[in-house]
Amino acid sequence: MSGTEKIKHAAEELKGRAKEAVGKATDNDRLAAEGKLDQTEAEVKKAADNAKDAAKNVLGD
């Protein structure tokens, strides 16, 4: 997996954390939930990246 994709997914996770924090600080439950969802999506993408990297290592690419 390219480093660019990993950085992109890490940035998405940080964006989600910020969104969640702002939502909590302003008592905006919808924004906090969106932030949590953004984080979860980024974590899933990062897990997929790790799985792809592991598969490449096993296959010798």
Cα-atom radius of gyration of the chain, to the nearest Å?
Answer: 15
Q: Is 25 among the domain residues?
A: yes
Residue with token string 């290592």: 57
Q: Where are the alpha helices (DSSP H) in the chain?
A: 3-25, 29-59
List, in order, residues 6 or more apart from 40 with CB less than 8 Å away: 16
* Entry field: residues in the chain: 61
Residue-wise pLDDT tens digits, 6-28:
899 999 999 999 999 999 999 99
Per-residue pLDDT at 61 exceeds 60: no
Q: Is 61 among the domain residues?
A: no
Per-residue pLDDT at 56 exceeds 90: no
Q: Is 10 among the domain residues?
A: yes
Give residue 12's domain range.
3-55
List, in order, residues 6 or more apart from 29 with CB less than 8 Å away: 23
Q: Is 17 among the domain residues?
A: yes
